[in-house]
A and B are shown apart, each in its own frame.
Chain A
Amino acid sequence: MDQKQRSSFTYPPRNNSPQESFNPNYDYPQFNSQNRTESPYTPSQFFNSQAREWDPHALLSNLSFLEQKIHQMQNIVREMIRTNEGQNCNISELTAQRQLLTTDLTSTIIQLISTAGSFLPTIRTSLLSGNAPIPQLGSSIPSASSAPSPSAYQPNPSPDYEELTKGWGENVVESAGQIQIEDLDVKEGEDVGQDGDTLPIGSYEVLQLEKEEILAPHTHFCTICGKGFKRDANLRMHMRGHGDEYKSPAALAKPAREPGSQPIPVKRYSCPFVGCKRNKEHKNFQPLKTLLCVKNHYKRSHCEKSYTCSRCNTKKFSVLADLKTHEKHCGRDKWLCSCGTTFSRKDKLFGHVALFQGHTPALPSDEVKGKNEEINDKDDSGGVGYNDGDEYLDMKGGYFSPMVNFDSFSFEGLDEFSRTTFDPTENSFSFLRSGSPDFARKGPGN
C-alpha cells in the first residue's frame, strides 16, 4: 500500500487547539456542518502544533462544555414544565423553546459524535496493544473538523468501515487531504520487519516496547491514583473505588471492540535489544507473537538468570515459570554433557554434542573427573574455559553480548521462543544455555 496515502489517513490533526474549535462560548449556529468546511487550520498551524502531546485538559474542557450545554437544556426543559404547569402558556413561546431545545440537542449530539469519532482510533489502538501505557497511546482533542478516519491503522479498510466514517461528514477526507504530505508516524519503521512464521510481509503490525516497559511488573495503571496492575481486569475492579461512574456494567465489562469494524489487524512484537533476531532491525527478523512472548524472550535472552534451582543449585533461570518447570524434573536428568549441562533425553544430549565442538557425553559416574579433564582440554585448545565456578558466568556472557550471532544460528531450541511460553521445556533451556559459550566464542567471526 502506498505509504503516503496511508499516512494521510493515519494521523489526524490531533494538534488542534480546543479553544479555537470548541469552547464553551462557542455559539452553536457556527457549530454546524457547514462551518466545518472552512477548516481553520493551515498547514503551518499544523506544523507548529504537531509536536504537542495530547492534553487531557482539552478533553476535560470539551466535556465540561457539553455538561454546560446539557445544563442549559435542562433549564430550558424545566422552564417549559413550569410554564405548562402555570397554564399561562404561550404557544409561540413554547414553540420557540422547543426549537431551541431541538437545535441544542442536535448540536450536542454532533459534538458528542465528533469527540467520540476523534477518540475512536485511540481506543482501538489501546484495545489492541492492550498493555501499552496510556500516555503513549493518547491523542489530542479533536475538533469537529478533524474527525479522523479509523482506517488510519488499517491498510485495507473494509467497506463497512468506510460507511461508518462517511457518516461523520463529507469533509473528513478534505481535511485529511490537507495533511496528506505529513508523516507523523511515531511508530516509524515498525512495519519494516520481515514476515514471521507464516505471515507475509506487511500483513501484520510490529510493535516494540521499551526495556522498562517489558520488565515493569505492572502494565496497567490507574489514571487517578497511579496504582499498577498486572491485568486490565484487576484495574477495572480497582477503578470501582474511584467513583460510581466506574461501577456501571459497561465500565466493568471487558472493553469490546467496535462492532461492525474490521477484524483487529495482526500484531507482532519486536524485541528492543538491537542485534537480536527478534529485533525488527535484524535482517532475518522473526517477530514475537504475543506480549508474553516478548516478556519471556527478553528475560530469557537478555536478562540475568536470577532464579536458581534450590535442588540442584546449578540451573538458573530468568523466568520463574521456567524454574518451576525445571523443578518438576530436576534430578531426573540422567544425560550429562561434559560441559555440565544435563538432559532428560539422550537424543537431546546427542543433538547438543553434535552442535558444539569438543563437547562429549559424560560417563555416568565420572562427572567430576570429566569436568577436570574438560578444563584441560579447553585450555589446550584455547577455547572457553569451563570450570565449576565460572561456568555460568561465561554462559551469561555469551547470552548478553553476542546476540547477533546467537540468533544467526537456527536450531530447534530457538523455536521455544516463539511458542507460548508457559510450557518451556527444560531441555531447550539447558540446550541454549550451554550453547552460549560457543556462540560467544564465535562472536567476532560474525
Chain B
Amino acid sequence: MCDITAVLTVDLLAQVLDWLHDSRDLKSCRLVSRAFLQAERMHRRAIRPLRLGPLPVLLRRYVGSLQSLDLSSCPSLDDSALSLSIPCPNNLRSVSLSRATGVTWRGLEVLASVCPRIEAIDISHCVGFGDREAAAVAKACWLKELRIDKCLNVTDVGLAKVAVGCSRLEKLGIKWCFEISEIGIDLLVKKCLELRELDISYLKVGNESLRSIASLSKLEDLALVGCEYIDDEGLYFLSNGNCSLQSIDISRCENVTSVGLTTLAEGQQRLRKINAGNCSPVLTSTFVSKLCTLGDTLIILKLDKLQLLASALEIVGKNCRNLLEIGLSKCNGVNDEGISWLVEGCTNLSTIDLTCCLLVTDKSLLSIAACCRGVKCLWLESCVLISEKGLDQIASCCMDLKEIDLTDCNVNDNALKCLSRCSELLVLKIGLCSGVSDIGLSFIGTNCSKLLELDLYRCTAITDDGLAAISNGCKRLKKLNLCYCNQISDTGLAHLQLEELSDLELRGMVRITSSGITAMAMGCRSLTQLDLKRCYSIDDAGMWALAQYTENLRQLTISYCTVTGLGLCHILGSLRCLQDVKMVHLSWVSIEGFELALRASCGKLKKVKLLGKLQDVLSSELLQTLQARGCRIRWVNKPLVFKG
C-alpha cells in the first residue's frame, strides 16, 4: 500500500481538516494512518478533554499548536492536577475552568505563571471563588477575555485586582457576582479602557455605574439583564456617553420604561441588537418610532412580554428592514395583522419567536411563509390556534427551516407529515402534543435524518414503534426527551441505538426496567446526561449496565429508582466523568450505602442532591471532604423513608 502522504501532503491534509467539524469525523481521520494523525495533531487548536487521566498525554501530543484548552468537563480537577497537566512551554491562549470547583487560587496562580501569553480565562460558575481567586487570575496581565460569572464571593476588591492587573481586558463577564458594587464598577471603568464587552447582569448596581460605563469609548456590547436598580436615568447616561453601543441587553430591568428606551435609541444610533424583554409592561409607540431611526442597522430585536400593538409591528416592519431576529414572546397584543405587517417589511428574518402569542393563527404562518422564505427558527410554543394548514405552508416555502418549536400546539400526525418535508430540520419540539402518534414519528424518522434534537415530552400516544422509527431514521440525534411517554417499554428502549446521543430524558417512564436500560446503554455509548427519575422499576442491574457502557456519563438523576446501596456504590465509583447526581428518595439505600457511595465518588462530584434528613446522619467528615473538593450539596426537605 503506497503512502498517501506522497500525494496528499500534510499541509493539504490540514486544509481538508479545516472543513471537518464533527469530532467523530476527526477521530476517523486520525485513525487512517500515522501521517493523518500527524496532520490532525498539527491542525488541532483546541481540546476539551472529558477525563483527567489522558490529559497529560494529550497535552504533550498537541503542545505545539494547542491554543485553547477547555477543562470544564473534567471531573476531580484540582490544583495539583491542573498544574501537572499544563506543559510549561505552551502557546495556550485560552483556558476554560468553568465549574472547576476543585481548583483554588493556587492553581490559578500556577496557570497564570505557566501560560504567560494567556488571553482568555473562564472561571464562571465556580461558586466558591472569591477575591483571592480573582487576584490570582489578575496576574495574567495579557488577559483580554475573562468570565467570572457566578463566582459568588468576588467583591469589589477582587474586581479591582482584575481591573488593575489586566488592564488590556476587552471582554468581561461578572454576571451574578452579587457582591460587586458601584465602587468596583467605577474603578473597572477607570482602569480597563479597552473594554468592548461587559456583562454586569443581575448586579445590584445603579445608574451611577451606567454613568461610568458610558465613558468607555470602545464599549460595544453591554448586558444589563435583571439589574433592578437601573432605571431610565441610567439609560440616559448611556445614550449621552462616549460609548458607541452595538448591542444592549436590558431585559428584566424592571424599572426601565419606554422613556429610557426612547432616549437610548436616540443616543445610540449604531445599535444592532436590542433586547428589551421583560422591562416594563407598557411600551409606548414613541420607543418603536425611535427604533425607525436605527432603521437599517438593527438586526436583532427582542421585545418579550411587552405590550405591543399591531401598529408598532407595522412601524418595525417598515423601518427595520434588515432585521434578522425578532422576539415577541408573550407579547399579548401580537396578532395576525401585526405579524403580516412585520414580515412584509422584514423579509430577511431568520428567527421568529412567537412563544405564547395566543392570538397568532394560521394566517400568521401563511404570511411568514409568503414573505420570509429564509426563516430558520420558528418558535411557536403555545400558539394553540395554529394547525397543519399553516405548517404545511411553512414546510413547503421555508425549505431552510432548522428549528421549530410546537410544544403545546396540539399538532397531529398530519402536521408532522407536512413538516417532514423540511429535510434540514435539526430541532423539533412537539412536547405536550398528545395527538402525535407513531405514524407522525415515522414521517419524521424517514425524512428528517439530520435531526439533532427531538422533544417528545408527554406525547403519550407514542409507543415502541414510533421510537423505533426515530432511532432508525435519525441517527444523529444528540438530545432526546421521552419523559412521561409511558407507553414505551423496554422493547422500544432497545431500539435506541444512537451513537451520538448525549442527552436522554426518560423521566416517569414507568414501564421501563433495567433490561431496557442495559440495551439502551449498549447502543448509546456517548450519553452524558441521563434522567431516570420516577422510573420505579430500574434497579441495580441498570446501574451496572450504565457503569459499564456509558463511561462519559456526567449528569445522572436516579431519584425514586429502586436502587440499593450496592448499585449506587458501584455506579458512583465506576463512572469517572460523573459530576452531578440527583439521588433523592432512594429508599432502598441505607445510610451506610450513601456513605460508602459518596466516599467512592469523592473528588469527582460537583453537585449532589440528597434528602435533607441525611444531613444529620451522614458523617460530618464526609460532608466536609465533599465540600472541600468543591462539591455542592442540595438538601431536599422531604421525609426519609427506608425500605431496605
Chain A residues packing against B (C-beta within 8 Å): 346-347, 350, 353-354, 358-361, 363, 366
Which residue in B131, B135, B187 is a CB contact (below 8 Å) of A353?
B187
B-side contacts of A346, CB under 8 Å: 156, 183
Question: Do the beta carbons of A363 and B156 come within 8 Å of each other?
Answer: no
- Asked whether A363 and B157 contact (CB < 8 A) given A353-B164, A354-B190, A354-B191, the answer is yes
Question: Contact at B161–A347, with CB atoms within 8 Å?
Answer: no
Contact A350 B186 (CB under 8 A): yes
Instruction: Tell me whether B417 is interfacial, beta carbon within 8 Å.
Output: no
Query: Which residues of chain A have C-beta atoms less than 8 A from B190's C-beta?
Result: 354
Q: Which residues of B contact A359 (CB under 8 A)?
A: 164
* CB-based nearest B residue for A345: B183
Q: Does B542 contact A (CB under 8 A)?
A: no
Complex interface residues of chain B between 156 and 188 (CB less than 8 A to chain A): 156-157, 160-161, 164-165, 183-184, 186-187
For A365, give the chain B residue with the smallest CB separation.
Answer: B132
The answer to whether A361 and B157 have CB atoms under 8 Å apart is yes
Given contacts A354-B190, A354-B191, contact A361 B183 (CB under 8 A): no
- Contact assessment for A350 and B164 in the assembled complex, using a CB-CB cutoff below 8 Å: no
B156 cross-chain contacts in A, Cβ below 8 A: 346, 350, 361
Cα of A363 to Cα of B133 in the assembled complex, Å:
11
**Which of B132, B165, B187 meets A363, CB within 8 Å?**
B132
- Interchain residue pairs with CB less than 8 A apart (17): A347-B183, A350-B160, A350-B184, A350-B186, A350-B187, A353-B164, A353-B187, A354-B191, A358-B164, A359-B164, A360-B138, A360-B160, A360-B165, A361-B157, A361-B161, A363-B131, A363-B157
Known: A360-B165, A363-B131, A363-B135. A353 touches B160 (CB 8 A): yes
- The reply to whether B132 and A361 form a contact with Cβ atoms under 8 Å apart is no
Output the least CB separation between A123 and chain B (Å): 55
In angstroms, Cα B292 to Cα A254, docked, is 78
Q: Is the CB of B164 within 8 A of A360?
A: yes
Shortest Cβ distance from residue B142 to the other chain A in the assembled complex, whole angstroms: 14
Instruction: With both chains docked as a complex, state the minimum distance between the C-beta of A349 and any C-beta of chain B, in angstroms.
Output: 9
A residues less than 8 Å from B165 (CB atoms): 360
- Complex: A38 Cα to B200 Cα, angstroms: 89
A346 CA to B155 CA in the complex, in Å? 11
Q: Given known contacts A346-B183, A353-B160, A354-B191, what 12 new A-B pairs fall within 8 Å (CB)? A: A350-B160, A350-B186, A354-B187, A359-B164, A360-B135, A360-B138, A360-B165, A361-B156, A361-B161, A363-B132, A363-B157, A366-B132
Closest 4 CB pairs of A and B: A360-B164, A361-B157, A354-B190, A361-B160
Which residues of chain B have C-beta atoms less than 8 A from A358's C-beta?
Answer: 164
In the complex formed, the residue of A with least CB distance to B182 is A347
- Chain A's closest residue to B184 (CB) is A350
| Nearest opposing residue in chain A for B135, CB measure | A363
Enumerate chain A residues within 8 angstroms of B131, measured Cβ to Cβ. Answer: 363
Contacts of A350 in B (CB 8 A): 156, 160, 183-184, 186-187
Q: How far is the CA of A437 from the CA of B524 in the complex (A)?
A: 66
Contacts of B164 in A (CB 8 A): 353, 358-360
Residues 417-446 of B at the A interface (beta carbon under 8 Å): none
Q: Which of B160, B165, B184 has the most CB of A within 10 A?
A: B160
Select from chain B the residue with minimum beta-carbon distance to A356. B164
Specify which chain A residues have a CB less than 8 angstroms from the CB of B161 in the assembled complex: 360-361, 363
Q: How far is the CB of A154 from chain B (nearest CB, A)?
A: 49
Q: For residues 115 through 173 of chain B, which have their beta carbon under 8 Å from a beta carbon of chain A? A: 131-132, 135, 138, 156-157, 160-161, 164-165
A379 to B92, CA, bound (A): 27
Task: Give CA–CA (A72, B192) in the complex, Å.
Answer: 91
* Chain B hits for A354, CB < 8 A: 186-187, 190-191
A353 to B138, CA, bound (A): 15
A213 to chain B, nearest CB (A): 43
Residue of B whose beta carbon sits closest to that of A370: B135
Residue of A346, A359, A361 most packed against chain B (CB within 10 A): A361
Complex: how many Å from CA A72 to CA B82? 111
What is the bound-complex CA distance between A350 and B185, given in angstroms? 10
Q: How far is the CB of B622 from chain A (nearest CB, A)?
A: 28
Q: How far is the CA of A353 from the CA of B156 in the complex (A)?
A: 12
Within the complex, what minimum Cβ distance (angstroms) separates A254 from chain B?
50
In whole angstroms, how far apart are the Cα atoms of A360 and B160 in the complex?
7
- Give A353 to B157 CA distance when docked, in angstroms: 10
The CA of A358 and the CA of B164, in the complex, are separated in Å by: 6
Instruction: Report Cα–Cα, A376/B135, bound state, in Å.
Output: 15
Task: Determine the distance from Cα of A28 to Cα of B157 in the docked complex, in whole angstroms.
Answer: 87
**Roughly how many angstroms separate A141 CA and B131 CA in the complex, as a whole number?**
75
- CB-nearest residue of chain B relative to A359? B164
Give complex CA distance A354, B191 in Å. Answer: 7
Contact with A along B443-460 (1 / 0, CB 8 A): 000000000000000000
Chain B 176-216 near chain A by CB (<8 Å), digits 1 or 0: 00000001101100110000000000000000000000000
Contacting residues, chain B, for A366 (C-beta < 8 A) = 132
Tell me the smallest distance from the CB of A352 to a CB of chain B, in Å: 10
Q: Write the nearest CB–CB distance from A350 to chain B, whole angstroms.
A: 5
Complex: how many Å from CA A149 to CA B87?
Answer: 90
**Residues on A with beta carbons closer than 8 Å to the beta carbon of B186:** 350, 354
Report the bound CA distance from A366 to B191 in whole Å.
23
Residues of B close to A347: CB separation below 8 A: 183
CB distance from B549 to the nearest CB of A (A): 47
Q: Given the complex of chains A and B, what is the CA–CA distance between A163 and B397 in angstroms?
A: 106
Bound complex: CA A359 to CA B165 (Å):
9
CA distance A353 to B190 in the complex (A): 10
> Closest Cβ of chain A: how far from B439's Cβ, in Å?
65
List the A side residues contacting B135 at CB < 8 Å.
360, 363
CB distance from B143 to the nearest CB of A (A): 15
Chain A residues near B138 (CB-CB < 8 A): 360
Complex Cα distance, B138 from A113, in Å, reads: 80
CB distance from B154 to the nearest CB of A (A): 12
Q: Least Cβ distance of A160 to chain B in Å?
A: 54
CA distance A358 to B138 in the complex (A): 12
Nearest-neighbor residue (CB-CB) of B165 within chain A = A360
Taken together as a complex, chains A and B put the C-alpha atoms of A160 and B161 apart, in Å, by: 67
A361 to B131, CA, bound (A): 10
Residues of chain A within 8 A of B157, CB atoms compared:
361, 363
A354 to B184, CA, bound (A): 10
- Chain A nearest CB from B308 CB (Å) reads 42
Residue on A nearest B189 in the bound complex, by CB = A354
Q: What distance in Å separates the Cβ of A344 from its nearest Cβ neighbour in chain B?
A: 14
Give bound CA distance, A363 to B161, whole Å.
Answer: 9
* B132 nearest in chain A by CB position: A363
Residues on A with C-beta less than 8 A from B132 are: 363, 366
The CA-CA distance from A346 to B131 in the complex, in Å, is 15
The distance in angstroms between the C-alpha atoms of A285 and B21, with both chains bound, is: 69
Query: What B residues does A360 contact at CB under 8 A?
Result: 135, 138, 160-161, 164-165
Min distance, Cβ B211 to any Cβ of chain A, angstroms: 15
Docked CA distance A347–B161 (Å)? 15
Closest residue of A by beta carbon distance from B131: A363
How far in angstroms is the closest Cβ of chain A from B132? 6
Q: Smallest CB-CB separation from B130: which chain A residue? A: A363
Question: Closest CB-CB distance, A375 to chain B, in whole Å?
Answer: 15
**Which residues on the A side are within 8 Å of B191 (C-beta)?**
354
- C-alpha gap A332/B156 in the complex (Å): 19
CB distance from A370 to the nearest CB of B (A): 9
CB closest chain-A residue, reference B157: A361
A360 to B184, CA, bound (A): 12
The CA of A363 and the CA of B183, in the complex, are separated in Å by 16
Bound state CA distance, A346 and B161, in angstroms? Answer: 14
Closest approach, in angstroms, between the C-beta of B479 and any C-beta of chain A?
A: 43
Give the distance to chain A from B59, nearest Cβ to Cβ, in Å. 28
Chain A residues with CB under 8 A of B187: 350, 353-354
**Which of chain A's residues have a CB closer than 8 A to the CB of B183?**
346-347, 350
In the complex, residue of chain B having the shortest beta-carbon distance to the beta carbon of A335: B157
Q: How far is the CB of A306 from chain B (nearest CB, A)?
A: 33
- The CA of A198 and the CA of B202, in the complex, are separated in Å by 45
Give the distance to chain B from A424, nearest Cβ to Cβ, in Å: 24
What's the least CB distance linking A380 to chain B, in Å? Answer: 10
A340 shortest CB reach to chain B, Å: 16
Name the residue in A347, A363, A366 with the highest tally of chain B Cβ atoms < 10 Å from its Cβ. A363
